[in-house]
């Protein structure tokens, strides 16, 4: 995408793009096109961004989980999962990776994403966990981060959303991730005062650490 201030992440060959506040559908089209057009030589990319208010329905999403969308747009998308909400103050990480290059399966990538958030919040003394059969990161039963991925020809896109400092009210207008009554939380309400820049930096650090831990030594041998 344009206006992205790209940078290379260490010696990984991964391009990191800080996109700011960008429209969901525009971003979705861009990462879908990137994935459709890439080949075995295309560098992987990570996109950090925020979205204006939008509800998204994944491939398994059912309209009955949209209880009262009000005037917020609803987009049916091609990621896995049910319904979720995106809005300003929520950090979104899209991972555009060649899974064959990293010798990763989808389940392993989900673990990497979840563990990245768990490690991030542990720096603030918060205990978080994943949940079997319900991808994401939870603190005392409340969802802090949501995950959804799409894989095409061994390459993935979409990623995770982490609630940092946002208006959580729209989550009450849906059944988050298809679970009626599921509570949500955010870093601010957990007493973590970090701004988006710091959260983004920590998320990148922990994601790359988890990626390195779980990819084969032969793949990561060039890393410092």
Q: pLDDT truncated to tens, each residue of the chain (224 aa)? A: 655 667 666 557 899 999 999 999 999 999 999 999 999 999 999 999 999 999 998 877 667 777 877 899 999 998 988 889 999 999 999 999 999 999 999 999 999 999 999 999 999 999 999 998 889 999 999 999 999 999 999 999 999 999 999 999 999 888 777 777 889 999 999 999 999 999 999 999 999 999 988 776 656 655 43
- Please tell me the predicted confidence (pLDDT) of residue 5: 67
pLDDT attached to residue 224:
36
pTM of the model: 0.92
Annotated binding site: 79-86, 146-148, 159-161
| pLDDT score at 219 | 60
pLDDT, position 36 = 96
Could you give the residue numbers annotated as active site? 177
Architecture of the domain delimited by 7-220: 2-Layer Sandwich (3.30)
Longest dimension (CA), the chain: 51
Q: Quick one: three-class SS letters along the chain?
A: CCCCCCEEECCCCEEEEEEEECCHHHHHHHHHHHHHHCCCCCCCEEEEEECCCEEEECCCCCHHHECCCCCCCEEECCCCCCEEEECCCEEEEEEEEEHHHHCCCHHHHHHHHHHHHHHHHHCCCCCCECCCCCCCEEECCEEEEEEEEEEECCEEEEEEEEECCCCCHHHHHECHHHCCCCCECCCHHHCCCCCHHHHHHHHHHHHHHHHHHHCCHHHHCCCC
Known binding-site positions for substrate: 79-86, 146-148, 159-161
């Amino acid at each position: 995408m344009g206006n992205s201030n790209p940078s290379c992440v260490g010696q990984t060959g991964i391009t990191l793009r800080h996109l700011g506040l960008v429209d969901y559908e525009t971003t979705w089209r861009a990462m879908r096109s990137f994935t459709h057009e890439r080949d075995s030589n295309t560098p992987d990319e990570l996109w950090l961004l925020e979205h204006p208010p939008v509800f998204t329905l994944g491939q398994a999403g059912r309209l009955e989980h949209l209880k009262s969308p009000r005037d917020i747009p609803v987009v049916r998308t091609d990621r896995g999962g049910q319904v979720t909400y995106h809005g300003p103050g929520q950090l979104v990480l899209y991972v555009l990776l060649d899974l064959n290059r990293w010798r990763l399966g989808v389940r392993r990538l989900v673990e990497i994403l979840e563990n990245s958030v768990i490690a991030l919040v542990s720096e603030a003394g918060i205990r978080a966990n994943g949940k079997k059969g319900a991808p994401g990161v939870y603190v005392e039963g409340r969802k802090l981060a949501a995950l959804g991925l799409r894989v095409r020809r061994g390459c993935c896109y979409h990623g995770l959303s982490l609630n940092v400092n946002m208006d959580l009210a729209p989550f009450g207008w849906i059944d988050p991730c298809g679970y009626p009554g599921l509570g949500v939380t955010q870093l601010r309400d957990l007493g973590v005062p970090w701004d988006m820049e710091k959260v983004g930096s920590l998320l990148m650090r922990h994601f790359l650490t988890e990626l390195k831990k779980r990819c084969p030594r032969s793949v990561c041998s060039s890393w410092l």
